[in-house]
Structure 1
C-alpha cells in the first residue's frame, strides 16, 4: 500500500466528477460580459433549491437541521496534530510554481459546501451538493444557466462582506492565473458570468454541450476577496507566504517553514450555525508536523509529537504498533470501514514517451511486476490485488460486455477495438509468489516485446531494430516509505533482468513535484483517482484534450475510445444510464494498460491517542477526522497526567 508523500498541484475534483474552476485561460469573462441576462419569468420551468443534484433527488430537505452522521452536540475546542512528509514554502495552494503547504486550500469556501480538509459533502451521498455561501441555487430544467442567491451574512476572515462581485472576480482570476490544464475546459463550457446585484450571481453555459456537472463545477469555485488582491498585489499563479483572503472556518496561524503549520479557528467565521456545519469543524487548532523521512515520522508519533496517524504502510501496521502506548491503551489502533473505491496506486506509464506510447509494450512491461511476491514478502499478506479503476463498486466492469453496456460500446463505432466487445475485462496478471522474477510472465513479455520490435541481443540487452537498448527513467521520491521503495526496487531489478536499462535515482519532494507537473519521467509510482459519477472532471482525469498538461492524468492518456465513452457518460439522463457508461469507461481504461496495478487495503487504518471521539456510525464516504471528530478534554488531561503526552 502506498502513501501520499508529495502534493499533486492542480484543480480539485468533487466526488461527482465535477472539476472546480481552478484553471487558466487567456480569455476573461468579466462581470456583465455579453450584456445582462434576463431573469426567469413566472411562467418559466425553473427550479429553486437549497441544494443541487443533477438527477434532482436530494437526500436532505430544505429545513434539515444537520447531516445524519454528525454529532450535533459535539464539543468544540482543543488541538489535533497530524503529520506529513516533505517541505513547503508558502500558503498559496493554487500557485503553479513552488511547494505550497499541503492543506493551505482549506481557507476557501464556495457557493456549495465541501469538506475543507478533503472529501465531498455530505459524506453519505455521492450525488448531492448543498448551499453554503449561497442561500439558494436557481436553474432551468435544461440547465442552460444557473443563479446563486447568496447569503448576506457571509464575511471574509478580515470581517469584510463576501459579495457577488468577489465571486465573479475569483472566477476571472482562475481563468487568468489559475492552473493551465483547465483553461480549455472553462472556455468551452462557461460562456459568461454576471453580477446581478451584491448577492446574486448568474452563470451562462455554452449551448450544445453536456450540462452534467456545470452547476456543481461553478458552485465549487472558492471565493476570494477582490479588495485584498488589489491591496496586496498578490497573484494566484505565484508562490506566496500569504494565504488568500477567504471565508472558511480555519485560517493560517503559527508556522515554521518545513517544520510545522497550525491552522486555527477563524474568529470572524460566519457559519458556525449553518445546518451544513452543525457538528463539524470541532477542533480549535489543527497542527501539521513535517518530517523528512518515514522513520522519523513514526518515531515522533510514538513519542506523542503528533497524535493522529493515518497508516499506509503494511509493514508498520503489522509490526510497528507494539510500543508501550498501544499496550497501555493510550494509543488506539483501529481499522475503519471504507465505502469508497480505492485510488489506483501502482506503476504508471507516461504514454507520451516512446516506447511507452505502444500499448503492447505497456502490456509487456506490466508483467514484470509480481504482486503475489510483493504482497507476501513486503506487505505481510495484507493487500488485495487491484483489477479495476473502480474496485468493488457497482460500475466495476466484469466479464464480457452485455446488455446496455454492449449496446453503448457498439454505438461508438470503430474507436472501440473488436476484442473489447467479445473478451472479458482486462484483469491483473498472476505471478509466482516464490520468486520476484516469474519465468512464465517473462516469456510472455519477451514475446510481446518482440511483436513490438524489441529483441534481446547476445549481450542480454533488450534492443530495437537499430540496436538501441530500451532505457526508462523512473521518477522516485526520497521521502517515500520503505515498503514502496522496496517494491519499486524489485520491479526495477526485474526490468533490468530482462535487459532494460532503468534510471531510478531518488530526488527530493520539491524536485519530484516539478518533474511530476512537467511529466519529466517515463515511469512513476503514484495513483490515479477513481470515479463515481459522470462529470467534466473525467476529461481532466482521462481525456485527450488536456492529457499533456493535466496533473490528474499522470499517464497522459490520449484515447479516442475513452474520449467517446466520456462524452457518452456526460450525455446520460438517469443514474442507471450513467452507471452503464461508467462501467464501459472502467473497461476501456483497463484495456489501455496505462498502469501496473498494485494492491490496496479495503479499510482505513488509523492510530490515535485515546482522547479523540467520533460518531458511532461513520458515513460511507469519509473517515472525517478533521471534519466531524472531536476532543475529549478529560481523556487528554488523563494522558498528560500519566506522562503519555507532554
Structure 2
C-alpha cells in the first residue's frame, strides 16, 4: 500500500514487537500520492482568507422532491431539506483542489499503520456541539454504530467494512476495519461522516423524520423552517472552529436561505425580481433564449458559465433490470437506440450539449477504443463472464442519427432486428409481444414538466418500432418514493461519480445495492464481474491500477446497456445578482460558491438604483 512521505508527517514505531508496522501520524489523508498541504498550512489556496463576513446567500431549492418535511439527513423516511450539511461537521474536510484529499476538522490528526487496517482519530478538545456539549470519542463511536444499523441502506453498505469503533479516551477513537477489507479509502470514508451527538439521541429517536432542529456539530444552525417553502441556516456566533485552516475563507455569509418553488417557471420569475440571489440553470432552452430580462440587461444580474473539473455525471434514462422485460440486453439496446440525441440537441437544446457515453464522462477515467495494457489485463480475469466483443471492439457508444429528422429509419430497422432476435415480434396490432402474447410495455416516470419535450418524441419513436411506450407524470414526492423503492420501468437520473472512486460504487453498481431500497443502483445491476471489478478498484494500491480498473468497469457497464445515455456539459450555468465577491482562483473540483462573500458596496449600489430592496 502507499505510505505518505510528506516532510510534515511524523512517522513513529508503535510500541510493539520488532516486526510491527510503522504507525503514521498525519494531519490529513489521501488515497494516492502526497498531500498538497503541509501540517502547518494556514488555508487552502483557492480561498480569500480576508473575505468580508456577513450578508445572506439565497438559492433556489433544487432537490428532486421539490419540497421537504424532514431535517434528518441519514434516513429514508421523509423528504430531507436542502442544505443540511451546513449544520454538521465531519471529522475531516475535503480539499477541492485535490481529487480526494482530506484534512483535519473535528479530528486534529490521524494515526494509522501502513496497511491502513485501522485508524485512530485524535479529536480536538475544543470541539463542541451546538448545545455546548463537548464532541467526544463516544459520539464518534455512537455515530458509526448507529449509521451501520439504523441509517438508510446507502450508509450501511458504505460502512460494511468497519468492524468496530472504540473510544480509547475522551478524545481518541480507534476504528478497526474488517480483516479482508480493501482499506485504502476506509479511513477517509469514516472521516467524512458527520459526527452526531449521542446524548441528544438518547431522548430523540434517530430513525424518525422531524422538523425539530437537531443538536448538531457544524458552523450553522437551523434558524427558520417554513415546510415546503424555505429553510434558513445562520451562523452560530459561538462556533468553535471558525479559525481552523480548513474553514478559513469558507462560509463567509451569516445565513444561507433555500427557497422552494412549485415549478421552474415560478423559480425563474422569482430570480428576476430578487426573491433569491443565486440560480443554477439546468434547462438549455431557458439558458439560450430567456436571459433577456431587464435586470440582466441593466447589469444587475450576472450570467456566467463556470467550468467544473469533476466527472460530468452519468445522466440518462435508467432501465430497471429487476423487471423481466429488461433482462435481455438486446431489448435494452433497442430501447436506447430509439432516442435521437442529435435531433433533440439541435431542435430542443440549441446545440449546447454533448452526448454522453461514459459513466465517467469528461474525465480521464472513461474507457476509449479497444482495451489494451493494464485495462485489458483487468478484463482478462473475467473473460469467461463477459461478451467477447468487449475485448475486440471499442467501448460502446450510442450510434449517431440524423439531426434533421426526429425518427431515423436506420434506427428503426436496427432496433427491430434486435427485438426480433430477443423474441419480441410484431403482433396483429403492430405492437411487440413475446411468445406468450404479452405486450412489451415500457413506462417512463418523471415529475419534470421540462422533460416532457424530450420524452414525448422518444415515446413516439419507441412506439414506431412496436414498443408500447407510455409516459407517466407524477408529483415530486411520488417520484422520489418510486425511485427509492425501485418501482419503475425507466427513470431519469444523474449520478455523479468521483474521480477517485471507492466504496460508493457498491451502492451504485454493486449487487448489494441492487437489493437495498434507497441506494443509487437504479438499474439493479447485479453481476459478479461488475462486483469483482468494484472490489479491485477499492483495493487498488496505485493510481494507475485504479484507473485501469475503473476504465474496465466503465467498459463493462456500457456494454450492458443499462441506461439510455443523455447529455453533458463540463460546466455550470449560473445567474446571480451582482452583490458577491469571489476569490481570484476557483477550486477545480467544485462550483466554488462556498467561498464567495457578500459585497456590501455592490448591494448598496443596486439598492440606490432601485434594483433591490
Q: TM-score range by the shorter chain?
A: over 0.9
Report whether the alignment pairs 1:204 with 2:164.
no
2:151 maps to 1:151: no
Contact 2:157 2:506 in 1 (8 A): no
The correspondence for 1:542, drawn from 509, 528, 551, is: 509
Q: Which residue of 2 aligns with 1:18?
A: none
Report what 2:55 is aligned to: 78
Alpha-carbon distance between aligned partners in 2 of 1:220 and 1:240, rounded to the nearest angstrom: 23
Q: Is 2:485 the partner of 1:525?
A: no
Kept after mapping to 2: 8 A contact 1:134/1:150 = yes
CA distance in 2, matches of 1:251, 1:453: 58
Report what 1:364 is aligned to: 334
Alignment of 1:100-119 (within 5 A): 100-113=80-93
> Residue in 2 aligned with 1:123?
96
Looking at structure 1, the residues matched to 378 and 472 of structure 2 have their Cα atoms a distance apart, in angstroms, of: 45
1:427: how far off?
0.8
Matches within 5 A, 1:393-542: 393-477=363-447, 480-482=448-450, 484-542=451-509
Partner Cα separation in structure 2 for residue 481 and residue 130 of structure 1: 42
The answer to whether the 8 A contact 2:145-2:165 is kept is no
Q: Taking structure 1 as reference, are residues 271 and 406 closer, same or farther at Cα in structure 2, changes over 3 Å only?
A: same
Structural RMSD (CA)? 1.6
1:567-619 deviation digits (Å, cap 9, x = unpaired): 22223211111111111111111111111111112221101011112112212
**Residue 542 of structure 1, CA deviation:** 0.9
Aligned mates of 1:375, 1:452 — CA distance in 2: 30
Question: Can you list the C-alpha shifts for 1:447-469, whole angstroms capped at 9, x where unaligned?
Answer: 00111100112311111112211
Instruction: Tell me how far 1:510 sits from its aligned partner.
Output: 1.1
Partner of 1:30: none
Tell me which residue corresponds to 2:576: 608
How far residue 182 of structure 1 moved from its aligned partner, in angstroms, is 4.1
**Residue equivalent to 1:118:** none
Question: 2:425 and 2:278 mapped to 1: Cα distance?
Answer: 51
- Residue 224 of structure 1 contacts residue 244 of structure 1 at CA under 8 Å; is this kept in 2? no
Q: Which of 266, 277, 281 lines up with 2:251 in the alignment?
A: 281
Deviations 1:332-385 (A, max 9, x none): 001111211111112110111121122111001001100011101110110111
Q: Is the 8 A contact 1:534 1:566 kept in 2?
A: no
What is the match of residue 177 of structure 1? 150
Structure 2 residue matching 1:553: 3-state secondary structure: coil
Name the counterpart of 2:216: 246
Q: Distance in 1 between matches of 2:399 and 2:210?
A: 46
The structure, 1 or 2, with the larger RCO (C-alpha pairs under 8 Å, 6+ apart) is 1
Range with greater deviation from structure 2 (561-570 or 438-447): 561-570
39 and 166 in structure 1: CA distance in 2 versus 1, 3 angstrom threshold: farther
Alignment partner, residue 636 of structure 1? 603
More displaced stretch, 152-161 vs 488-497: 488-497
Deviation by residue 1:118-156 (Cα, 9 ceiling, x = unmatched): xxx211001211111001100000111110111000111
The structural deviation recorded for 1:196 is 0.5
**8 Å Cα contact 2:153-2:519 kept in structure 1:** no
Match of 1:55 among 9, 32, 41: 32
Write the deviation string for residues 64-114 of structure 1: whole angstroms up to 9, x where unpaired: 01001111111110001111251111211222211121222431111111x
Work out whether 1:564 is the aligned partner of 2:527: no
1:68 paired residue number: 45
- Which consecutive aligned stretches of 4+ in structure 1 deviate over 3 angstroms post-superposition? 38-44, 181-187
What does 1:206-225 correspond to in 2, within 5 Å? 206-225=178-197
Q: CA deviation at 1:207?
A: 0.7
Greater displacement, 96-105 / 306-315: 96-105
**Structure-1 separation of matches of 2:385 and 2:236:** 52
Contact conserved, 1:471 with 1:501, CA < 8 A, in 2?
yes
Contact 2:107 2:124 in 1 (8 A): yes
Q: CA deviation at 1:541?
A: 1.3
| CA shift in 2, pair 1:261/1:185, >3 Å | closer
Q: Is the 8 A contact 2:445 2:490 kept in 1?
A: yes
Once the two structures are TM-superposed, the CA of residue 415 in structure 1 deviates from its matched residue by: 2.1
- Displacement of 1:39 in angstroms is 7.4
Preserved contact between residue 104 and residue 243 of structure 1 (Cα < 8 Å): no
Deviation at 1:55, TM superposition (A): 2.7
2:72 paired residue number: 92
Distance 1:553 1:106, change over 3 A: farther
| Alpha-carbon distance in structure 1 between the residues aligned to 2:346 and 2:126 | 57
SS of equivalent residue, structure 1 residue 394: coil
Counterpart CA distance in 1 for 2:560 and 2:449 is: 29
Deviation at 1:525, TM superposition (A): 1.2
Q: Report how far residue 199 of structure 1 moved.
A: 0.2
Specify the SS of the correspondent of 2:135.
coil
Q: Which moved more, 1:255-264 or 1:58-67?
A: 255-264
Structure 1 length-normalised TM? 0.90
Contact kept? 2:431, 2:439, Cα under 8 Å? yes
Q: Secondary structure at the match of 1:171?
A: helix
Which SS does the other structure have where 1:372 is aligned?
helix
Going from structure 1 to structure 2, the CA distance change for 1:71 and 1:184 (only over 3 Å counts) comes to closer
Inter-partner Cα distance in structure 1 for 2:413 and 2:213: 55
Kindly state the Cα deviation for residue 644 of structure 1 after the two structures are TM-superposed. 0.9
2:562 corresponds to which of 594, 598, 615 = 594
Query: Which residue is equivalent to 1:226?
Result: 198
Task: Give ranges in structure 1 of 5+ residues lacking alignment.
Answer: 1-37, 114-120
TM-score norm. by structure 2 comes to 0.94
Q: Aligned partners of 1:196 and 1:333: how far apart in 2?
A: 53
What CA distance in whole angstroms lies between the structure 1 residues aligned with 2:124 and 2:597?
A: 28
Aligned residue for 2:511, secondary structure, equals coil
Distance 1:644 1:41 in 2: 69
SS of the aligned residue for 1:431 comes to coil
Structure 1 SS opposite 2:142: helix
